[in-house]
Amino acid sequence: MIKINEHYLKLQASYLFSNIAKKVGDFQKANPDKDIIRLGIGDVTRALPQACTDAFHSAIDEMATDSGFRGYGPEQGYEFLREAIAKNDFQSRGADISADEIFVSDGAKCDSGNIQELFTTDARIAIPDPVYPVYLDTNVMAGRTGDFADGRYKGIIYLDSTKENNYVPSLPAEKPDLIYLCFPNNPTGSTITKAELKTWVDYAKENQALILFDAAYEAFIRDESLPKSIYEVEGAKEVAIEFRSFSKNAGFTGTRCAYTVVPKECAAFDAKGGKQLIHPLWNRRHCTKFNGVSYPVQRAAEAVYSEAGKAQAQELVSGYLKNADLIASEIKNLGYGFAGGENSPYIWIEGKRDSWEFFDMLLSKAGVVCTPGAGFGKCGEGYIRLSAFNSYENVEEAMKRIKAALA
């Protein structure tokens, strides 16, 4: 008899986006003339940079000739892209990361979800609350949690991110083996300082733990004093893996390209307490289960680092940040507390009421879609997330309507 992985049965059905879709659909049906503005989803809206589509096109033309055709490429990614990443994203900021420590993939979602299979089933896991749901769900699937009760899985060390700690969790009382961190954060938009990040790096070292650092939103950091990479912190290479993506900085959500950094000296331990390097293990996993990102997509990603590509990607991000500025200043004027919006495309708003109640009110009174904070964890209850991923005109109109609705 074929039996299923029972851990999948523990997963809480994510009603978040299906619930939102149903509520928006019902509202649209009842109000067919109402123009709905979506500030809910975490997906970009503006076109790919021209430098990227040009590179994409010419790579496809190469593929159309026998001499330029490419079949399977290196699983870890083409050298041209890994070199460009190492040089531009790390070495230029004083982080000593080399091309062979970069693993190109089709998404930071898959990488941050797959990485946990390198570690023992009884590893103790620390996960921020609220946060991107992938870290938690993939550990539930792998059997690292108990059942779900009172809004939380048993066996997980939750790192509460609240107004009191400025949405940067403090070190937990109970010692974890694996620590997930995400900054700038989704959904709170909060950032971490170099000193705060150093506290985590030092803690991981002292406790033989490993940090999984998701920096998918690093491009939105405007404050030059903030770290874009965990490797800007001394000693991080031994205890941290970093996830990056072209999704949010260059509009690749539908194009698919990302990468994971596993430094050569980054280590975990075997059953006898011996040091085991992670690089060869991740390399083995990657090559066994993945056959590389398509050549045209890697050429398009490489173009993000060309002179024109850098300027165009910067312009995309600046446009979203301008939206974020507008949302943040209007929310402030309305007298609501919030986080994010400064070095992040997300604005995390203290709703002064239940998350879904706020969602319903904004939809019915303003025709604006937000994301209820409760969907990101227990600590998200009472909050909503507004996203800056839209046109400036739509954001302007949305804020006008929100002002009227909340007045």
Ligand X SMILES: *Cc1c(COP(=O)(O)O)cnc(C)c1O
Strand order in the sheet with 210-214: 102-105, 258-261, 240-245, 210-214, 178-182, 125-129, 156-160
Q: How far is the CB of 306 from ligand X (least distance, A)?
A: 21
* Stretch of 164-172, 227-235, 241-249, 351-359 lying at the interface with ligand X (CB under 6 A): 241-249
Return the residue nearest ligand X (CB atom). 107
Chain residues 172-191 in contact with ligand X, contact rule CB under 6 A: 182, 186
Closer residue to ligand X (CB): 303 or 361: 303
Counting contacts by CB under 6 A, is residue 144 touching ligand X? no
Total interface residues for ligand X by CB under 6 A: 14
Counting contacts by CB under 6 A, is residue 108 touching ligand X? yes
Counting contacts by CB under 6 A, is residue 161 touching ligand X? no
Counting contacts by CB under 6 A, is residue 253 touching ligand X? yes
Q: How many CA atoms lie within 13 A of 344 on its CB side?
A: 26
Q: How many residues does the chain have?
A: 407
Closer residue to ligand X (CB): 193 or 253: 253
Counting contacts by CB under 6 A, is residue 385 touching ligand X? no
Closer residue to ligand X (CB): 43 or 61: 43
Residues in a beta bridge with 385: 348, 371
Tally Cβ neighbours within 10 Å of residue 58: 15
Closer residue to ligand X (CB): 290 or 336: 290
Give how far Cα 105 sits from Cα of 5, 253, 281, 284, 319, Å.
26, 13, 16, 14, 27
| Token digits of residue 237 | 């290479």
* Stretch of 78-86, 247-255, 282-290, 395-403 lying at the interface with ligand X (CB under 6 A): 247-255
Distance, CA of 12 to CA of 3 (rounded, Å): 20
Closer residue to ligand X (CB): 132 or 153: 132
The residue from 40, 49, 107, 227 that contacts ligand X (CB under 6 A) is 107
Give how far Cα 199 sits from Cα of 159, 186, 193, 231, 386, Å.
15, 21, 10, 13, 30
Distance, CA of 135 to CA of 143 (rounded, Å): 13
Closer residue to ligand X (CB): 107 or 309: 107
Distance from the Cα of residue 229 to its chain's centroid? 13
Q: How far is the CB of 157 from ligand X (least distance, A)?
A: 19
Distance, CA of 112 to CA of 118 (rounded, Å): 12
Quick note: the x/- pattern for ligand X over 293-312, rule CB under 6 A, is: --------------------
The residue from 51, 168, 216, 327 that contacts ligand X (CB under 6 A) is 216
Strands 267-269 and 148-149 turn out to be unpaired
* Stretch of 102-110, 146-154, 295-303, 315-323 lying at the interface with ligand X (CB under 6 A): 102-110
- Sole residue written with tokens 């005109």: 393
* Stretch of 105-113, 116-124, 170-178, 372-380 lying at the interface with ligand X (CB under 6 A): 105-113
* Stretch of 66-74, 156-164, 244-252, 362-370 lying at the interface with ligand X (CB under 6 A): 244-252
* Stretch of 59-67, 106-114, 313-321, 347-355 lying at the interface with ligand X (CB under 6 A): 106-114
* Stretch of 93-101, 103-111, 223-231, 395-403 lying at the interface with ligand X (CB under 6 A): 103-111
Burial of 5 (0-12, 13-18, 19+ CB in 10 A): exposed
Closer residue to ligand X (CB): 162 or 253: 253
Closer residue to ligand X (CB): 243 or 295: 243
Distance, CA of 271 to CA of 341 (rounded, Å): 44
3-state DSSP call for residue 339?
strand
235-265 as b/e: b if 16+ CB within 10 A: ebbebbbbbbbbbbbbbbbebbbbbbbbbee
* Stretch of 104-112, 148-156, 202-210, 383-391 lying at the interface with ligand X (CB under 6 A): 104-112
Counting contacts by CB under 6 A, is residue 245 touching ligand X? yes
Q: How far is the CB of 257 from ligand X (least distance, A)?
A: 8
Chain residues 10-49 in contact with ligand X, contact rule CB under 6 A: 42
Distance, CA of 395 to CA of 38 (rounded, Å): 9
Closer residue to ligand X (CB): 144 or 248: 248
Distance, CA of 10 to CA of 1 (rounded, Å): 21
CA 283, 232, 90, 259 dihedral sign is: positive
Q: List contacts with ligand X (CB under 6 A).
A: 42, 107-109, 132, 182, 186, 214, 216, 245, 247-248, 253, 258
